């Protein structure tokens, strides 16, 4: 069939530049010219152009899978703590020092408070402290606050209830006001474990009394004096008894937690705990400025018992509580901090929100430039208002990559972390990376936008940890790794010495007319690449007739003695963008996709633009 128009066929061109990110949301033929249906292992440079992501390297091997990576900075010295397998260890960069064994082998969460690192393992609540230049790891219960459960108590009983029982400690203190005659002092509980200490008029006693554990009494051989008769202040409690009483299941309410955050009124002076599968819709609040004290009355019931609390997000002076999704109950709750007008105490009331989207992973809660994000089974979402009674409290941020992201298996195991301007989610050795510098606006509503996203492979991250601008991760084989963002040379671009395959694919373009065949001209088509001292490019063309054919490969290296690579040697000394012509005629295509690839070890790679020139040919008849 001959082209029905003039025998002279005019030449047209198509230019791909002003690149953005990935688009997995539609067919490759429908992707915007600026996006890619397959941008593998790329990230935007400062100008927004796609370049190869930094590689990573192994820093240390541990026994067991990595469950948590933490840092503690005290007196300008930073200490690294790694939870691996059933052990907690200190890592000094060269050596590993065991701190504790017999730890629960599950992902751990942690927070720093008062110069100490606290860890929740799902079975233990631990504290890491600095002692000289050494670290110690112990159960928080060993040094937990001992509450004064009753004060102003007469020897026979009564008094004023003062502080709640500490869930993580069996110890309690009763403060009595001696009458000078009574010898039997009734504690505020019976069937106790033991009496830990006795103090009378400021003096510790190790003898001179007996204990009836069943009755919960302490009997003195000599009646303690009134405070004023012992040189004290009249009316001031002068007998203080510390005893222990273990309540079954109390400690487990906290040691079984897997979620935590810090919150308060005007500051972060309290810690909230949740994620215990036995109490999945409850959380607990610590005492003021003391994470070792969790009163037994400090719990809140958040929504239906059918859905678990998954995590917390800070929204200004409010705390959002995000639950899992069950299609029928509220998933978003808002906690505020208010001063009670009568008692002067700080209270933390909770408001229920409308039924909305819930979280699928406990490990993807983060704030990207004040945008509070979490992962649901529908994608990445942001909580954009503290008014959770509104219908549109939740906004989607990942629409362009959701079909691939939400199709990943084991989304509940995904981990997320903010790294500079990026929000990184890792699952199944794949990373989905949101770029906060690039937002695609849907309309004029200020918070109604989505990020540009990038897609990485070969990142076997089980846990993620950002520290001082660097991103660390631990894998299931005990490897602690770090991304090579601190390196300036070409060894930045390898995954522990292995090559990184990076690709940018254009849309499957019909050149504006899917009813005409086209011919790619031999001249005038090419790609402009970013200059590196060591680089190369492979150019592949995929049409409606095939799955991709390589038509050209070229070295893009710039001669540099410091980065000399004889396997990709070049005398080129120009550091300007490198242009590679296709020099290939391709006939009779309906759609064409251009793929530029780099798979060289220790090679940089980036794309500035792609131009193709073609001629419209005959009509497509079938």
Query: Which pLDDT does position 461 carry in this prediction?
Result: 98
Cβ 465 vs Cβ 69: under 8 Å? yes
- DSSP E strands, 255-296: 259-263, 270-274, 282-285
The pTM is what? Answer: 0.93
Query: Which pLDDT does position 6 carry in this prediction?
Result: 44
pLDDT tens-digit profile of 86-106? 999 999 998 999 999 999 999
Instruction: Give the Cα separation of 548 and 592 in Å (integer).
Output: 10
* Rg, Å, the chain Cα set: 32
Instruction: Give the Cα separation of 177 and 600 in Å (integer).
Output: 81
Query: Which pLDDT does position 393 carry in this prediction?
Result: 79
Instruction: Give the Cα separation of 204 and 208 in Å (integer).
Output: 11
Nearest to 179 by CA among 231, 227, 232, 233: 227
- DSSP E strands, 143-256: 148-153, 160-161, 171-176, 184-186, 194-200, 203-205, 209-212, 217-220, 239-244
The helix (run of H) or strand (run of E) holding residue 69 is: strand 66-74
Instruction: Give the Cα separation of 438 and 445 in Å (integer).
Output: 16
Query: Which pLDDT does position 557 carry in this prediction?
Result: 81
Query: Which pLDDT does position 575 carry in this prediction?
Result: 67
For all residues of the chain together, what is the average pLDDT?
93
Query: Which pLDDT does position 341 carry in this prediction?
Result: 83
Q: Report DSSP letters for 451-463, one per residue.
A: EEEEEEES---SE
CB atoms within 10 A of CB 447: 10
Nearest to 502 by CA among 53, 33, 127, 34: 53
Query: Which pLDDT does position 565 carry in this prediction?
Result: 52
Nearest to 611 by CA among 536, 523, 552: 523
CB atoms within 10 A of CB 557: 26
Q: Where are the domains of the chain?
A: 11-20+500-619, 171-244
Instruction: Give the Cα separation of 403 and 275 in Å (integer).
Output: 28
Where the chain has pLDDT below 50, the residues are 1-6, 444, 559, 561, 563-564, 566, 569-571, 573
CATH class of 11-20+500-619: mainly beta
């Amino acid at each position: 069939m001959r082209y029905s128009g003039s025998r002279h066929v005019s030449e047209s061109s198509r230019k791909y530049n002003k690149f953005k990110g990935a688009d997995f949301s539609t067919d490759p033929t429908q992707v915007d010219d600026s996006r890619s249906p397959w941008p593998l292992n790329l990230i935007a440079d400062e100008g927004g152009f796609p370049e190869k992501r930094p590689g990573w390297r192994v820093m240390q091997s541990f026994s067991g899978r990595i469950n948590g990576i933490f840092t503690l900075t005290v007196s300008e010295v930073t200490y690294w703590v790694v939870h691996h397998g059933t052990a907690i260890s200190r890592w000094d960069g060269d050596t590993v020092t065991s701190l504790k064994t017999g730890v629960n082998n599950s992902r751990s969460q942690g927070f720093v408070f008062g110069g100490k690192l606290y860890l929740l393992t799902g079975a233990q609540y631990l504290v890491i402290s600095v002692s000289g230049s050494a670290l110690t790891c112990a159960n928080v219960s060993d040094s937990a606050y001992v509450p004064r459960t009753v004060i102003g108590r007469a020897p026979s009983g009564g008094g004023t209830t003062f502080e709640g029982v500490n869930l993580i400690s069996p110890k309690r203190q009763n403060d009595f006001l001696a009458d000078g005659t009574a010898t039997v002092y009734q504690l505020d509980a019976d069937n106790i474990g033991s009496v830990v200490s006795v103090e009378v008029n400021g003096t510790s006693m190790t003898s001179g009394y007996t204990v009836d554990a069943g009755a919960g009494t302490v009997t003195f051989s000599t009646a303690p004096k009134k405070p004023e008769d012992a040189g004290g202040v009249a009316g001031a409690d002068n007998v203080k008894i510390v005893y222990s009483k273990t309540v079954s299941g109390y400690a487990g309410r906290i040691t079984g937690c897997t979620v935590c955050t810090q919150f308060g009124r005007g500051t972060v002076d309290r810690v909230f705990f949740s994620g215990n599968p036995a109490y999945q819709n409850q959380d607990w609040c610590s005492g003021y400025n003391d994470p070792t004290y969790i009163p037994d009355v400090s719990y809140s019931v958040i929504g239906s018992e059918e859905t678990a609390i998954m995590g917390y997000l800070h929204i200004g002076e409010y705390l959002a509580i995000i639950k899992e999704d069950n299609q029928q109950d509220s998933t978003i709750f808002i906690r505020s901090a208010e001063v009670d007008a009568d008692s002067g105490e700080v209270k933390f009331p909770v408001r229920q929100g409308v039924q909305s989207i819930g979280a699928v992973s406990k490990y993807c809660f983060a704030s990207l430039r004040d945008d509070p994000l979490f992962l649901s089974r529908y994608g990445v979402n942001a909580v954009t208002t503290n008014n959770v009674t509104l219908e549109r409290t939740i906004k989607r941020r990942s629409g362009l990559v959701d079909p691939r992201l939400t199709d990943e298996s084991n989304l509940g195991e995904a981990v997320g972390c903010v790294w500079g301007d990026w929000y990184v989610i890792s699952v199944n050795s794949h990373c989905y990376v949101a770029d906060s510098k690039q937002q695609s606006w849907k309309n004029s509503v200020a918070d109604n936008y989505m990020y540009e996203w990038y897609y990485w492979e070969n990142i076997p991250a089980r846990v993620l940890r950002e520290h001082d601008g660097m991103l660390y991760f631990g894998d299931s084989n005990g490897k602690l790794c770090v991304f090579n963002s601190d390196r300036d040379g070409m060894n930045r671009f390898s995954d522990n010495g292995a090559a990184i395959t990076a690709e940018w694919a254009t849309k499957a373009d019909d050149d504006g007319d899917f009813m005409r065949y086209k011919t790619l001209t031999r001249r005038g088509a090419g790609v402009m690449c970013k200059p590196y001292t060591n680089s190369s490019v492979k150019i592949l063309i995929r049409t409606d007739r095939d799955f991709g054919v390589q038509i050209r490969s070229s070295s893009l290296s710039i001669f540099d003695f410091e980065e000399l690579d004889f396997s990709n040697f070049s005398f080129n000394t120009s550091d300007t963008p490198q242009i590679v012509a296709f020099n290939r005629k391709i006939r009779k295509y309906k759609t064409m996709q251009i793929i530029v690839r780099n798979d060289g070890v220790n090679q940089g790679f980036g794309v500035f633009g792609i131009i193709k020139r073609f001629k419209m040919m005959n009509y497509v008849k079938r």
